[in-house]
Amino acid sequence: MSPRRHSRRQFIGRMGGVLSWASLAALMGAAGAAGPAGAQSPGPPNFAPRAKRAISLFMSGAPPQMDLLDYKPRLAAYYDSELPDSVRGSQTLTGMTAGQSRFPIAPSYWKFARYGASGRWVSDLLPWTSRMIDELTLIHTVNTDAINHEPAILLMNTGNMVPGKPSLGAWLSYGLGNMNENLPAFVVLNSRLIPGADNQPIAPRLWGSGFLSSEHAGVAFRSQGDPVLYLNDPDGMSRETRRALVSGINAVNQLTYEEVGDPETHARIRQYEMAFRMQTSVPELTDTANEPKSTWELYGDDARVPGTFAYNCLLARRMAERGVRFTQIYQRGWDVHKNVVGNLPKLCAATDRGCYALVTDLQRRGLLADTLVIWGGEFGRTVYSQGGLTRDNYGRDHHPRCFTMWMAGGGANPGIAHGQTDDFSYNIVEDPVHVRDINATVLHLLGIDHEKLTYRFQGLDQKLTGVVPAKVVTELLA
């Protein structure tokens, strides 16, 4: 590493990497000494992982926990009565309901029943989820710092409300690397929109790589048409010509690297190589023609339509089989400020079966034991109605103090429900789990000590869980 090749800032910035490479080299000797052709990585997991890979089912917009999985039977008696000040406390409300003269309690429209050997209460809206309830680790007491979508979804995905930090998937790609060199370590699947639902925008910064090398960013597949653009060879261009073209571009990029010394140029070379390999691997990945009949029986006919949530769940299973480290499926539309009774059934119908099918399919194929599935949104929703309240029409505003997530497989403790909220699903009574605790726990299941997976940037050993102390929630581990 000569000073001419690197600016002072890069040289110092890279020292962290160099040091961790030094320790890795000590561990791995020649096998670990990666040149510019290999992506930078801090090496093997800190300890033997429970999960080799993870799949996030991200319900963007925030599902209402008390209509789905956080059963609150006593609410019925409080229909249309005012949410007590003692419950609401000092909670700041969003601009959408802060001006309301009343905060009338809206009990859930749906019936709940107990399912499984664990006897968990599940809403009638989730008939498929209720069938696998014994496989799930319910967490009723997730809480977040943000009350609006963008900061909350950033916090959930990147551990920070401010844009620019690496996402969970990028950290996993950086920390654990690829299992299949022909596919990205981190793939994002955006599901089709659900007609009539309130769709909040999402953006690539949610799966960005931040200050990590850009090859760790999630590769987003399109929900319609070709999953990845320009993977097909244009008319008149053979694969050999394509290969020569990519090699030529790489040679020019290598010259640029030798002149400027920016490691990002190497990341670019690796991305070109990955794209070239994806010309073969992605068509194979997305070709579901050979799926057996049992697949369609499990996932339903929705899964035959590219871009649906069910189709993406099937793709996630196929990626798990092929060694993609982290797959994140986004389903937008959960922002039910109004007409919960009208919209929530559509959202549940679009996602419930896919979730069940994915977990069940992973289970029967022997993949669930080392695949962690995570379901949840960016925050919860209020027990009081936004706007007017009738028996069959109410809305729910954003609520950061408690919401429900679940995990399945990958070393999560099946059949348990962790934490308790109050009778209004407004405050946490027992065992709060902050977003950063969720992230620490997810990393733990993948063999990573969240305090040790760091990257020096702006004078700080940055980590996914940030500077506020986070803890692994040991009760969630099997």
Binding residues (CB under 8 A) for other proteins: these are 27-31, 43-49, 179-182, 292, 294, 321-323, 364-366, 369, 413, 416, 430-431, 447, 474-478
Q: Smallest distance from the beta carbon of 153 to other proteins, in angstroms?
A: 29
What is residue 372's DSSP assignment? E
Q: State how beta strands 53-59 and 326-331 pair.
A: parallel
Q: Smallest distance from the beta carbon of 60 to other proteins, in angstroms?
A: 30
Q: Write out the two tokens for 220.
A: 């987003």
Q: Smallest distance from the beta carbon of 218 to other proteins, in angstroms?
A: 19
Q: Smallest distance from the beta carbon of 418 to other proteins, in angstroms?
A: 10
What string of DSSP letters covers 25-48? Answer: HHHHGGGG---TTSPP---S-SS-
Task: Please tell me the distance from the alpha carbon of residue 247 to that of residue 45, in angstroms, as a whole number.
Answer: 33
Q: Smallest distance from the beta carbon of 14 to other proteins, in angstroms?
A: 21
Nearer to other proteins, 2 or 474 (CB): 474
Nearer to other proteins, 80 or 181 (CB): 181
Contact (Cβ atoms closer than 8 angstroms) between residue 138 and residue 457: no
Task: Please tell me the distance from the alpha carbon of residue 281 to that of residue 158, in angstroms, as a whole number.
Answer: 28
Q: State how beta strands 53-59 and 403-408 pair.
A: unpaired
Nearer to other proteins, 48 or 98 (CB): 48
Q: Smallest distance from the beta carbon of 368 to other proteins, in angstroms?
A: 10
Nearer to other proteins, 28 or 193 (CB): 28
Nearer to other proteins, 349 or 369 (CB): 369
Q: Counting beta carbons within 10 angstroms of the beta carbon of residue 340, is it exposed (0 to 12), middle (13 to 18) or buried (19 or more)?
A: buried
Contact (Cβ atoms closer than 8 angstroms) between residue 453 and residue 464: yes
Nearer to other proteins, 180 or 339 (CB): 180
Residue with tokens 């943000």: 146
Classify the phi-psi angles of 397: left when phi > 0, otherwise alpha if psi is within -120 to 50, otherwise beta.
beta
Nearer to other proteins, 91 or 363 (CB): 363
Q: Smallest distance from the beta carbon of 52 to other proteins, in angstroms?
A: 8
3-state class (DSSP) for residue 111: coil
Cα atoms in the Cβ-side hemisphere of radius 13 Å centred on 297: 3
